[in-house]
């Protein structure tokens, strides 16, 4: 009985499972059919939408094509109208050209007719000229070439005579007028510039309020004076001079810094190494500022613009340099003004003259630190800082170390000589000046073989004439070098001195 129930339960379970499976299958088929119908409906909708969009795009494309066709037809009509107008203009020009050609042909016919008449007249004139020439030759008994040659000889002889006479007259007048004009230009330049005479002398003496200050400057065991000399780079001379000490240094700028610093220390009263270094640094900056201001002011006074700031700074150093008592910065401004006056009188380039004259002693502000003459040093420095080649040549050639390439360079040299040689320009009286020139000639005359010697250009050049029988060319070159060396060793002079040895050979004979 229990087994029967178990079998029955299993059968019922199988029947239930079968029924459930049939239900699931039926439901699945219904869902699939429903999903298929939905997909078909969606597809129909997509097709309908696409069809509608295609129709819309087709209509828009037709509208655009129609518009493009209309625009093309309008542009075509415009082009046709323009071509029509151009054809009308061409036809008009062609008609004008035809008319001009007709007039030209008519004028050419008239010209040909006149040319024929002129040719006929020219032939008649030539025939008459030939007949006249034949009659003249028959009368004169010489050909036309012979008559022409004789006439030219007479004319040339008269012309040469007149030309020689006129040349001699012009040379004499030019020499007289040139000397007179040169004197007038130099005198006018000096009067117009009218610089003051030398009235100040650069000094390195520092006054003291009392003698006790010397001990404070020296300090205990010389501590203060050693610190001052080491930092300032100068020598401080404390001697028996009452209420004064002397500062010695080859560099005028360092000497000026030291002078100012010592004067300020004396006024302040605090003299010890730490304070000395501070005061020296402060005065160094103050002097550098004064140098810059002095360079700019000098350029303004000389009316020279466009210079590099480094050049103006170097030029400002000349404020503390003198040559025989003449301040070199004032000398540069004075030479610039003199050169401008001379250039205006001679018609030269005033700007070149002013700049070259203002910068001609630029190298003197740095020649104690650099090898070479101040002219070559200044020219090289100016060239590196953008100064024009013509101005550089004025600087380099004002002592004839290089060739002068322009009239402006000659003017700069002349202005420099005028500024240095004018009365009162330098603190050297006439007696000392004559002694220096005489000493220069004596040095030259001390050499064997010297015939004559002349100190010229205010003592800047000495010319020595030697006897050609005693001195040959090689010995003349050696003599120039030896004389220059002896001048350097035995004399004191500003700038440089040019030594020129001249050896001249002459052949003389007499007709008896």
Residue 27 lies in a domain: no
Domain shared by 474 and 335, yes or no: no
Residue 221 lies in a domain: yes
499: enclosing H helix or E strand: strand 498-503
- Cβ atoms within 10 Å, residue 275: 15
Give the integer Cα–Cα distance in Å for 319 and 293: 10
Domain shared by 233 and 304, yes or no: yes
Last residue of a domain, one of 124, 141, 158: 141
- Tokens 């004839």 locate to 400
Domain shared by 288 and 348, yes or no: yes
Burial profile 313-323: b = 16 or more Cβ within 10 angstroms, e = fewer: bbbbbbbbbbb
Q: Which of 402, 254, 400, 422 is nearest to 338 (CA)?
A: 422
461: enclosing H helix or E strand: strand 461-466
pLDDT computed for residue 210 by the predictor? 81
Last residue of a domain, one of 362, 390, 421: 421
What's the full length of the chain, in residues? 512
Domain that holds residue 91: 43-141
Domain shared by 248 and 103, yes or no: no
Domain shared by 321 and 249, yes or no: yes
Count of domains forming the chain = 3
Domain shared by 225 and 306, yes or no: yes
Instruction: Give me the torsion for CA of 411, 320, 309, 289, rounded to 10°.
Output: -150
Instruction: Give me 110's structure tokens.
Output: 């008239």
Residue 170 lies in a domain: no
Domain shared by 442 and 394, yes or no: no
Residue 369 lies in a domain: yes
Domain shared by 335 and 252, yes or no: yes
443: enclosing H helix or E strand: helix 430-445
Residue 172 lies in a domain: no
Residue 108 lies in a domain: yes
Give the integer Cα–Cα distance in Å for 234 and 52: 108
> What is the pTM (predicted TM-score) of this model?
0.48
Domain shared by 308 and 209, yes or no: yes
Q: What is the CATH number of the domain that holds 456?
A: 3.30.300.20
- Give per-residue pLDDT as tens, 66-79: 889 888 888 888 88
Domain shared by 486 and 339, yes or no: no
Domain shared by 443 and 408, yes or no: no
pLDDT computed for residue 124 by the predictor? 85
Q: What is the CATH number of the domain that holds 219?
A: 1.10.3210
Give phi and psi for 192, each to the nearest 5: -75, -35
pLDDT computed for residue 477 by the predictor? 86
Residue pair 378/330 in contact by the 8 Å Cβ criterion? no
pLDDT computed for residue 421 by the predictor? 61
Last residue of a domain, one of 391, 421, 451: 421
* Ranges of the chain with pLDDT below 50: 191, 194-203, 423-424, 427-428
DSSP collapsed to 3 states, 221-273: HHHHHHHHHHHHCCEEECCCCCCEEEEECCCHHHHHHHHHHHHHHHHHCCCCH
Domain shared by 357 and 268, yes or no: yes
Residue 154 lies in a domain: no
Residue 183 lies in a domain: no
- Give per-residue pLDDT as tens, 131-190: 877 777 666 666 666 767 777 777 777 676 667 667 767 766 666 665 556 555 555 555
């Amino acid at each position: 009985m229990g087994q029967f129930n178990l079998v029955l339960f299993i059968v019922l379970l199988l029947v239930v499972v079968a029924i459930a499976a049939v239900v699931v299958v039926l439901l699945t088929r219904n869902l699939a059919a429903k999903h298929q119908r939905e997909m078909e409906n969606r597809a129909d909708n997509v097709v309908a939408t696409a069809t509608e969009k295609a129709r819309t795009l087709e209509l828009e494309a037709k509208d655009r094509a129609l518009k493009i066709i209309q625009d093309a037809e309008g542009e075509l009509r415009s082009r046709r109208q323009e071509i029509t107008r151009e054809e009308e203009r061409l036809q008009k020009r062609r008609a004008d050209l035809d008319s001009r050609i007709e007039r030209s042909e008519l004028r050419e016919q008239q010209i040909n007719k006149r040319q024929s008449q002129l040719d006929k007249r020219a032939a008649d004139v030539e025939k008459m000229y030939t007949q006249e020439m034949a009659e003249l030759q028959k009368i004169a008994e010489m050909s036309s070439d012979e008559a022409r040659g004789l006439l030219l000889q007479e004319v040339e002889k008269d012309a040469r005579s007149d030309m020689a006479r006129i040349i001699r007259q012009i040379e004499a007048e030019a020499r007289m007028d040139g000397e007179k004009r040169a004197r007038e230009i130099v005198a006018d330049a000096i009067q117009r510039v009218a610089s003051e005479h030398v009235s100040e002398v650069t000094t390195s003496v520092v006054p003291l309020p009392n003698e006790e200050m010397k001990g404070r400057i020296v300090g205990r065991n010389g501590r203060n004076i050693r610190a001052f000399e080491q930092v300032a780079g100068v020598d401080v001379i404390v001697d028996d001079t009452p209420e004064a000490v002397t500062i010695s240094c080859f560099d005028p700028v360092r000497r000026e810094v030291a002078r100012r610093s010592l004067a300020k220390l004396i006024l302040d009263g605090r003299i010890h190494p730490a304070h000395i270094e501070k005061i020296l640094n402060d005065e160094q900056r103050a002097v550098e500022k004064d140098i810059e201001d002095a360079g700019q002011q000098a350029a303004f006074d000389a009316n020279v613009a466009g210079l590099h700031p480094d050049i103006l700074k170097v030029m400002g150093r000349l404020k503390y340099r003198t040559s025989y008592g003449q301040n070199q910065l004032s000398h540069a401004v004075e030479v610039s003004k003199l050169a401008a006056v001379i250039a205006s009188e001679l018609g030269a380039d005033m700007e070149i003259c002013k700049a070259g004259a203002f910068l001609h002693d630029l190298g003197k502000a740095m020649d104690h630190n650099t090898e070479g003459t101040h002219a070559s040093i200044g020219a090289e420095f100016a060239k590196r800082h953008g100064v024009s080649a013509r101005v550089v040549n004025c600087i380099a050639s004002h002592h004839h170390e290089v060739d002068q390439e322009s009239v402006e360079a000659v003017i700069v040299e002349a202005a420099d000589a005028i500024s240095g040689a004018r009365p009162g320009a330098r603190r050297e009286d006439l007696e000392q000046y004559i002694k220096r020139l005489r000493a220069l000639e004596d040095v030259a005359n001390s050499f064997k073989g010297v015939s004559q010697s002349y100190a010229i250009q205010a003592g800047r050049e000495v010319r020595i004439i030697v006897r050609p029988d005693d001195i040959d060319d090689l010995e003349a070159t050696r003599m120039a070098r030896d004389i220059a060396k002896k001048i350097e060793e035995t004399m004191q002079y500003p700038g440089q001195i040019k030594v020129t040895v001249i050896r001249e050979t002459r052949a003389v004979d007499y007709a008896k």
